[in-house]
Amino acid sequence: MADDKDVLRDVWFGRIPACFTLSPEETTEREAEPYYLLLPRVSYLTLVTDKVKKHFLRVMKTEDVEEMWFEYEGTPLKWHYPIGVLFDLHASNTALPWNVTVHFKNFPERDLLHCSSNSVIEAHFMSCIKEADALKHKSQVINDMQKKDHKQLWMGLQNDKFDQFWAMNRKLMEYPTEEGGFRYIPFRIYQTTSDRPFIQKLFRPVSPEGHTLTLGDLLKELFPAAICAEDEPKRFQVMIHGIEPLLETPIQWLSEHLSHPDNFLHISIIPAPSD
């Protein structure tokens, strides 16, 4: 059987084919061709769309250009969620490529954060990692790292360097054997049906009795509706990186192998397709 490390690679090298089209509301000098790109699932929209911006700017006047933002079927896409999460949440079970509309005007202030430069993404990314390590190791590991180590994590993500990133990230994934896992699992549960941005609570990988807790245990506690009885039709899909792991999967294993580079396990819960 394949090794657990192959999972890390598969997760890292997950790509979503996307077709960027300029919103018809934008004024252009000539017709804008759509732009096709393979987006890394684990990265952030604004981090990997320089080429998209360049492409559309060629057909636009400088004065018509404000901050670029993206929208899918009327929903503005939050750049600070990993690309894979946005796709799973809004567009899974649809035909590929993913049709993303590009806007340069009417920035939806209520829905999106501004992203003036990559340093904003970096700050967001690092704060996620720090938060995750606070949950996992009381921040001990991340605080022991040097500035250059933090930089290595970020550069790894920015330049799509799996080895560079994991050379450092593995330290964040360690835990004392006798404890059987992290202190708490850093996870976020997203859903389309609610106004809450996401669910996040303290959850340990091992029960007080010493049992290994599973994805099912997590959902039972935080989103019981996602678990359906055997005879019921499935109401929700529980997606992580575009796949639906079995509910028996230990949550600790998921956290170690299916977390995004920000060290969070992002779980999308979407209504099951009706057919």
Residues of the shown chain interacting with other proteins in the complex, contacts defined by CB under 8 A: 1-8, 10-11, 13-17, 36-40, 43, 48-49, 51, 96-97, 155, 158-161, 163-164, 166-167, 170, 177-181, 206-212, 241-246, 248-250, 252-253, 257-258
Minimum CB separation of residue 9 from other proteins in Å reads 9
For residue 209, which amino acid is it?
A: E
269, containing H or E segment = strand 265-271
Contact 244, 236 (CB under 8 A): no
38, containing H or E segment = strand 35-40
Would you say 99 or 105 has its CB closer to other proteins?
99
Here the tokens at position 128 are 């996620």
Q: Which residues pair with 112 in a beta bridge?
A: none
User: Rounded to whole angstroms, how far apart are CA atoms 203 and 218?
Assistant: 8
Would you say 16 or 135 has its CB closer to other proteins?
16
Q: Which residues pair with 187 in a beta bridge?
A: 265
84, containing H or E segment = helix 83-91
Minimum CB separation of residue 196 from other proteins in Å reads 27
Minimum CB separation of residue 118 from other proteins in Å reads 12
Would you say 49 or 101 has its CB closer to other proteins?
49
Contact 169, 42 (CB under 8 A): no
Output b/e per residue, 21-48; b: 16+ Cβ within 10 A: ebbeebeeeeebeebebebbbbbbbbbb
The string of DSSP letters for 193-254 reads SSSSS-B-----SB-TTSPBPBHHHHHHHH-GGGS--TTSPP-EEEEBTTB---TTSBHHHH
Q: How many CB atoms lie within 10 A of CB 151?
A: 15
Distances (CA, A) of 119 to 36, 43, 87, 102, 161: 26, 14, 24, 22, 18
